[in-house]
Structure 1
Amino acid sequence: MRFWLVLVALLGAATAAHAEREPVLKQVDLPHTYYWRELYIPQLTSGPSSLSFTPDGEALVYSMEGSLWRQTIGLGEAVELTHPQGAYDYQPDVSPDGRSVLFSRYDGYGIELWRLDLESGREQQLTTGKAVNVEPRLSPDGKRIAWISTQGTGHFNLFVADVATEGLRNARRLLGERQSKIGRYYYSKFDHVLNPSWTPDGKRILYVTNNEVAWGTGDLWSVAVDDPSDRRKVLSEETSWSARPETSPDGKQVLFASYHGRQWRQLCLTTPEGAAPLPLTFGEFDRSGARWSPDGERVAFISNEGGNTSLAVRDFIGGATTQIVVKTRRYKGTRARLTIDIRDERGRSVPARVSVLGSDGRATAPASAWMHADDGYDRTLQFAETHYFHCPSTCTVEAPAGDAKIWVQRGFRHLPWRQTVKLAPSTEKTVPVSLQLNDLPASFGTWRSADLHVHMNYGGTYRNTPENLAKQAQAEDLNVVYNLIVNKEERVPDIAYFRGDPDPASGPDTLIMHSQEFHTSYWGHLGLLHLSDHVITPDFSAYQHTPLASPYPFNGVVADLAHAQGGLVGYVHPFDWIIDPARETTLSNEFPADVVNGKVDYIEVVGFSDHKSTAAIWYRLLNLGFRLPAGAGTDAMANYASLRGPVGMNRVFLDTGGDLSPAAAKNALKAGRTFASNGPLLGLEVEGRHPGDTIARNGTGKVHYRVALRSPVGVDHLELVQNGRVVKSFKLKGKRQNLDAKGVLQVDNDGWLVLRAWNDGSDPQVLDLYPYATTSPIYFDLPGEHPRNSADAGYFVAWLDRVIANASGRTDFRTARERDTTIEYLRNAREQFASMR
């Protein structure tokens, strides 16, 4: 998982640069937190997220705003049942007698199971140990419970226990640990078990598991509770964490969520015997988390049809649907209305990113806002991850009386705004926010900012649109968003949006471009920007145990196809550690081969990877004379409630002269008129030239430079790096957010120069591993041949030797021609590096 893989082998003195920032729910031993945490673990949302019928079928108990609520179907009042201090409640399951509710509670450290007595309001903790305990489901007689827990292993396993007045008894794991024989990329080598529910007779449990399944979270199974050896596969289905199969009260149908053959999850039906499934609902949005009513006549579910989450009840026969609309909310505690009015340095109303932490230690947001959560944090500074929402300029929240902490941030050109305000009970308060500009001097360039790597929809909680994506960008002071269309296993979300020109949602200061990410975790992922005609298909290769198992096409072939459409090709989220060819157990990344063969137009130096490690490898290529611009991309899943983000967290600044046309953005990136950053703004000028330029000289000598730093956060290190060596370190004083300096450097060889800023550790105001920024190079061209760097050339020879050996051992090329073409391409690249030694 990237967040702890990058803790090893960082560049230079920063070997433990971000050790204090850790993943949320770090106790879970599974790869790729950004998928399972969003798609499986309950998230804080302003709308409903999970539900349960009361036994009479007249009301629902559901989670919303991190509390449990009860609402009678057809009425508009929601009554808050729980409101824990500094914690959030999810996944209610009402007992068959209607006296209590089981649920899961997240406190920033783990998720435990609790029970609420509906008559007395007494809350009782049922599990301990700070594991992740989710999806509690009571048996039909209310005497037993099934749930999923990571207790003891860090993997998602099925547990059962007897339910007693004093708590749980005889808790045990029903199914043992099992390792599949096949390799898996997005999933652990250990099988997981998810989504339990009881059959009406209480004898069996339905669940989802990935026994010998490579892609997706697995198939629908059932197991006899009293004889765990009696296991049956119900249905083969590519699921994605949230199928949640549930048998109808009469035992004849199984309801579950499926995206099979489409891009969105809808409700489907099969039988306990696994009959071919049939769709129950339709639509280009998600319906999930469905539960049968006790009489089997209705189905309740969560939907994101309107973008945010909502709740509805649908008649099984006829399909008439009742929306569960909340007109009034009866909170457990006293509230106040807090209005935030955001303006820039000129007094203009502007959108921004906002966090509000109430006196109850919980994040809050407007009822219609999308709540987002960071994917990691420093536990010495925060008890839980940062939650935030995008405010259109003025927004109102219902917050508990007492002190409320407000954090407002708008991109990188303004300083963060923080304030604590006191809210009196049952009052209204307006807080004016005046943002302070902290921008680079205009002499360094006329910049437009771009996030080269965003996924508008990627199976997340919300349903995003280009119009909303533009609003997200505007709140982050971001000018250009490249929505990279890509597969999530068998789906390709957003493929219907592809077009070669800007999306109509674009505006005077916001450009939305639909582009592509080519997926192969074997060769490395590619960003394909400014495609003019079509998405390149298949959208991935080297997916073992699928019909697209062949490593062909390799990335060089895909790059040629993209260039034929006039596109740009970049390597995205490249390296989590500095590659040491001699020590890598396997090495298949094609990056150096594509660079030496002229296929790569940019690299995400700042992205979903370790920035210093990526830069170390980038520097080696620059030393060999390759002119590779610095790009940046967040890899934000912009419809997630829990994401690596927000949109624009990692961005590249393009010196376009102020032009926001696609051609201007493309040309600036291709030419290297850029700097990449997750916070600090950098200005670099040498002899009147800027990044991307070449300074041609008749001989060696001194050159004059000028630099500038403007940063929303304090910066530890600001350095000039020449040909891979730090040649000047600038001393930063005070808040370490501003610097203007000039001086002279000695230039004795061809080469390059960049300005970079970085921190030793993380900063809570930068939702990334650590603050980092770098310019693209300014190049020096002196008479004579470019000096050869034998060590760097040898490094890539050793790299490609490992890649060639790995690829030669593959037996899943479709044809000998595919294999021979691939190996020849790699060997040719290896020989070019060898000739540079």
Structure 2
Amino acid sequence: MCCQDDQVLDLPAAAIEALAHYRRLRDQQGWGWGDDELPEFFRLARFSRLGDLADALATTGGDWPAAIRRVAGDTPAPGLVVLDVDAGGTVTPRVGAPRLACAGRPVTLDIVVDSLVGAELDVAGTPVTVEAGGAAVMTVDVDGPVLRVGALEVAGAVEVRPAASLRVRSSAWSRWSVVDEAGGGWWPDGVPPKHDGAHRPYFHARDTVLEVPAGSFTVTCTRGPEYAAVRTTVTVSSDESVDLEPERLVDPAAEGWRSADLHVHLNYSGDLVVAPEQARAMQRGEGLELMNLTAGNLGGPHVYDRVLFESTVGEDLWTGDAVARTSVEFRNDLLGHVHALAPSRPPIRYQTGHPGTEHAHDWPPNAEACADLREAGASVAYAHPVFAGFGDDPDDPYGPFLAPHRTVEARELVADIALGLVDGLEVVSCFDDTAGAELFHRLLGSGLRPAAVAGSDVFLSFAHGPGVASNPPGWVRLYADLGDAPVSAEAVRDAVRAGRTVATNGPFLMLTVDGAGPGSVLDARPGHVLDVRARVRGSGARELVLHGPDGELARRAVDGADVALTVEVPVDGPLWLAASARGGPHPMDPGRPVFAHTSAVHVEVGGRRVVREADVRWCLGLLDRLERLVVEEGRLDPERRDGQLADHRAVLDRARAVYRAALRESRTT
């Protein structure tokens, strides 16, 4: 019985060898293969109580050792081992309730080291160094009932039980979570042992068998946000089976709306090397119809999955109930990241601004990369546009968006969208969706017509974090109105270009204005009354909102799985209309809300578009601040600095001309 896909992919020889190379790197380097300097936070993400640690850091004023001690507590949590090192260097372990194991299968333990003196320990073969008075966290894999800390043998952290067999099956590929009575996750052989942003284990399969320790298990089954999860408990003593069928909540495909995740990384360093067949199983288990696998670097010269992309560019990796295409993410951490869908060729360059790479300077401007990708036939969108919001300082309307300086925010978007080089932005992403929507509204109010798109930015090769990076593909997704057309990268690309899109991390949201959907351009007369209808279906939403150029037009509480909002909007001038839905904490990312947003319906009057002076001035101000940022913080070639700055100013000046023309237009309407 196997949970792997039942079709072998005919990959190019170069792509097969690239995967073998990645496996060799992983075997040689372990976690973090392929990059010399991954952020330490990525490694810490494997610590299952990282969220508690972040909360403790906030309450201790950033005191790292104090925060770790608060998480350790007087009585360690299940699966946590605290190693106290006294003034003499003696290690005293404190052990939480044991993780369950069966012989020959390692389990993962969280470790806290709290030391009064400088200490260097070997914990299950992993070295850790702690300064005097300091503390550290780590995770280790333990095979057997004993945790070894140097010569010390720590018992009680793992309980080895007899092995048993558990079969799980459903009628279609699904996402499964199998958790034992001690809170440990279990996976079949041959699948990536993944955890979501809430630290829940999961894998994808139709019908498979797991070897587990005898005991009680909670089994959960679902197929992405279009389905409700179903769960059961089962006691396994020798051989048991569980059959589950998730309940469908909504069927957008039946109405011509097809799902896509435009921003997925296949192999991106981390713990794992993921074969394309495993990625396809994840996609099918999430009910995701199109997956865009983006090649990109992390911060160094290596472009992950470049060989796969360049050897299959313009071709589908697989088709059928799930379609996948390789593509590219262009990355500059000062100006922003963009991803492409359906390019016909590789880009001229993959990144700028990363030291030690071929293009180490913040030059040329992102506009050149966007133009290159558009010339290759791709749709182009800015990824995760806002990391930390805009703040609430009336004297600084941009706030954290421009500081700290390299936080991957979409700073050049405001220029590139004005120049017609960008089709959309991730209004729903892995970062601040509320602020992303604010930016989206500013652009709409300036007379521009970007599409609302979505990309998860998940790293399929990360087993656990950081944050939501190890979530399944499609947990954030785009719905594109394809009508009767079959799913293809080109059809979704064209829908993005036309704005026929909805972005969501859960509920399915729809908007019509006089019967026309997102992306439509209507011509109305003053005095006409628009029939506006928004509808949200699925789960997670708590409020449904209708937006226009002057702010919120209507709101309704969501008290069921299918709620509509109908509003009559009188026309007294040009406007745009869009809908959003918002809910409580997302089940896969408790620090972020459930959120969905449509692209806009644009209403012209006498051929005139909406232009809101306040929004145009906001965009002009951002261009000025961006120019200052590039001057002060840009990594530029000292010998070519003046010329490189001139190139940036040329792009910004061209964008300024567009906004100033819009400003003049606003004064004559």
TM-score, length-normalised on structure 2?
A: 0.73
**What is the CA distance between 1:155 and its match in structure 2?**
7.7
**What is the CA distance between 1:587 and its match in structure 2?**
6.4
Conservation of the 8 A alpha-carbon contact between 2:317 and 2:325: no
Letter aligned with residue 415 of structure 1: A
The whole-number CA distance in structure 2 between the counterparts of 1:587 and 1:85 is 38
The whole-number CA distance in structure 1 between the counterparts of 2:227 and 2:246 is 6
Counterpart mapping for 1:67-86 below 5 A: 86=78
Counterpart mapping for 1:96-107 below 5 A: none
Counterpart mapping for 1:742-757 below 5 A: 742-757=566-581
Three-state SS of the structure 1 residue aligned to 2:303 is coil
* Alignment RMSD (CA, Å): 3.7
Residues 458 and 723 of structure 1, relative CA distance in 2, 3 Å threshold: same
Deviations 1:487-519 (A, max 9, x none): 131211111112465555412122211111111
Three-state SS of the structure 2 residue aligned to 1:557 is helix
Alignment pair present for 1:333 and 2:333: no
Name the residue aligned to 2:546.
720
Conservation of the 8 A alpha-carbon contact between 1:449 and 1:653: yes
Is there any run of 5+ residues in structure 2 with no aligned partner, and where? 1-36, 49-75, 84-90, 99-108, 139-148, 391-395, 664-669
User: Which has the higher mean CA deviation after the structures are superposed, 503-512 or 487-496?
Assistant: 503-512
Conservation of the 8 A alpha-carbon contact between 1:577 and 1:614: no
Counterpart mapping for 1:270-349 below 5 A: 332-342=160-170, 349=171
The whole-number CA distance in structure 1 between the counterparts of 2:578 and 2:268 is 35
Conservation of the 8 A alpha-carbon contact between 1:697 and 1:780: yes
Name the residue aligned to 1:455.
265
Letter aligned with residue 87 of structure 1: G
Name the residue aligned to 2:627.
804
Counterpart mapping for 1:754-769 below 5 A: 754-759=578-583, 761-764=584-587, 769=592
Residues 667 and 402 of structure 1, relative CA distance in 2, 3 Å threshold: same
Conservation of the 8 A alpha-carbon contact between 1:678 and 1:766: no
Three-state SS of the structure 1 residue aligned to 2:243 is strand
Residues 696 and 427 of structure 1, relative CA distance in 2, 3 Å threshold: same
Residues 442 and 572 of structure 1, relative CA distance in 2, 3 Å threshold: closer
Alignment pair present for 1:533 and 2:345: yes
**What is the CA distance between 1:768 and its match in structure 2?**
7.0
Name the residue aligned to 1:398.
211
Three-state SS of the structure 2 residue aligned to 1:434 is coil
Name the residue aligned to 1:639.
461
Deviations 1:768-810 (A, max 9, x none): 7221111111111112643532211121222111111222345
Conservation of the 8 A alpha-carbon contact between 1:364 and 1:399: yes
Alignment pair present for 1:607 and 2:421: no
Counterpart mapping for 1:438-449 below 5 A: 438-440=249-251, 445-449=255-259
Select which of 511, 516, 528 maps to 2:328: 516
Three-state SS of the structure 1 residue aligned to 2:227 is coil
The whole-number CA distance in structure 2 between the counterparts of 1:89 and 1:503 is 49
Residues 103 and 363 of structure 1, relative CA distance in 2, 3 Å threshold: farther
Name the residue aligned to 1:651.
477
The whole-number CA distance in structure 2 between the counterparts of 1:103 and 1:684 is 61
Letter aligned with residue 347 of structure 2: V
TM-score, length-normalised on structure 1?
A: 0.59
The whole-number CA distance in structure 1 between the counterparts of 2:120 and 2:384 is 31
**What is the CA distance between 1:830 and its match in structure 2?**
2.7
Residues 808 and 782 of structure 1, relative CA distance in 2, 3 Å threshold: same
Select which of 427, 434, 439 maps to 2:245: 434
Deviations 1:271-324 (A, max 9, x none): xxxxxxxxxxxxxxxxxxxxxxxxxxxxxxxxxxxxxxxxxxxxxxxxxxxxxx
**What is the CA distance between 1:764 and its match in structure 2?**
2.4
**What is the CA distance between 1:637 and its match in structure 2?**
0.7
Residues 679 and 559 of structure 1, relative CA distance in 2, 3 Å threshold: same
Conservation of the 8 A alpha-carbon contact between 2:530 and 2:568: yes
Name the residue aligned to 1:278.
none
**What is the CA distance between 1:475 and its match in structure 2?**
0.6
Counterpart mapping for 1:822-837 below 5 A: 822-837=648-663
Deviations 1:678-733 (A, max 9, x none): 1111122221211111121133322223333222x332111111225221212322
Name the residue aligned to 1:668.
495
Three-state SS of the structure 2 residue aligned to 1:801 is helix
Larger RCO: Structure 1 or Structure 2 (Cα < 8 Å, ≥ 6 residues apart)? Answer: 2
The whole-number CA distance in structure 2 between the counterparts of 1:638 and 1:519 is 19
**What is the CA distance between 1:670 and its match in structure 2?**
1.0
Three-state SS of the structure 1 residue aligned to 2:450 is coil
Conservation of the 8 A alpha-carbon contact between 2:297 and 2:303: yes
Three-state SS of the structure 1 residue aligned to 2:380 is strand
Name the residue aligned to 1:567.
378
The whole-number CA distance in structure 1 between the counterparts of 2:364 and 2:159 is 57
Deviations 1:226-265 (A, max 9, x none): xxxxxxxxxxxxxxxxxxxxxxxxxxxxxxxxxxxxxxxx
Higher normalized helix content (fraction of residues): 2
Deviations 1:364-409 (A, max 9, x none): 122332211224x4xxxxxxx212111x211222344443222212
Conservation of the 8 A alpha-carbon contact between 1:43 and 1:641: no
Task: Select the structure of larger CA radius of gyration.
Answer: 1
**What is the CA distance between 1:609 and its match in structure 2?**
1.4
The whole-number CA distance in structure 2 between the counterparts of 1:429 and 1:822 is 64
Letter aligned with residue 770 of structure 1: P
Conservation of the 8 A alpha-carbon contact between 2:482 and 2:495: yes
Name the residue aligned to 1:217.
none
Name the residue aligned to 1:591.
413
Residues 513 and 431 of structure 1, relative CA distance in 2, 3 Å threshold: same
Residues 335 and 806 of structure 1, relative CA distance in 2, 3 Å threshold: same
Letter aligned with residue 340 of structure 2: L
Alignment pair present for 1:87 and 2:79: yes
Conservation of the 8 A alpha-carbon contact between 1:649 and 1:767: no
Letter aligned with residue 369 of structure 2: V
**What is the CA distance between 1:358 and its match in structure 2?**
0.9
Select which of 730, 737, 756 maps to 2:556: 730
Residues 525 and 400 of structure 1, relative CA distance in 2, 3 Å threshold: same
Conservation of the 8 A alpha-carbon contact between 1:578 and 1:616: no
**What is the CA distance between 1:474 and its match in structure 2?**
0.4
Residues 164 and 653 of structure 1, relative CA distance in 2, 3 Å threshold: closer
**What is the CA distance between 1:37 and its match in structure 2?**
5.1
**What is the CA distance between 1:152 and its match in structure 2?**
5.8
Alignment pair present for 1:472 and 2:282: yes
The whole-number CA distance in structure 2 between the counterparts of 1:560 and 1:527 is 12
Alignment pair present for 1:416 and 2:196: no
Name the residue aligned to 2:605.
782
The whole-number CA distance in structure 1 between the counterparts of 2:412 and 2:528 is 38
**What is the CA distance between 1:744 and its match in structure 2?**
2.6
Conservation of the 8 A alpha-carbon contact between 1:85 and 1:362: no
Conservation of the 8 A alpha-carbon contact between 1:752 and 1:777: yes
The whole-number CA distance in structure 2 between the counterparts of 1:834 and 1:149 is 57
Conservation of the 8 A alpha-carbon contact between 2:514 and 2:530: yes
The whole-number CA distance in structure 1 between the counterparts of 2:260 and 2:515 is 25
Three-state SS of the structure 2 residue aligned to 1:769 is strand
Deviations 1:541-598 (A, max 9, x none): 1224766332211110111111111122110011023334564556682111111111
Select which of 819, 829, 836 maps to 2:645: 819
Name the residue aligned to 1:51.
none
Alignment pair present for 1:739 and 2:563: yes
Residues 371 and 743 of structure 1, relative CA distance in 2, 3 Å threshold: same
Counterpart mapping for 1:103-502 below 5 A: 127-128=113-114, 136=122, 147-149=128-130, 332-342=160-170, 349-375=171-197, 377=198, 385-390=199-204, 392-419=205-232, 421-424=233-236, 426-440=237-251, 445-488=255-298, 489-499=300-310, 501=313
Counterpart mapping for 1:610-621 below 5 A: 610-621=432-443
The whole-number CA distance in structure 2 between the counterparts of 1:103 and 1:393 is 46
Name the residue aligned to 2:27.
none
Letter aligned with residue 422 of structure 2: V
The whole-number CA distance in structure 2 between the counterparts of 1:138 and 1:363 is 20
The whole-number CA distance in structure 2 between the counterparts of 1:513 and 1:368 is 24
Conservation of the 8 A alpha-carbon contact between 1:690 and 1:778: yes
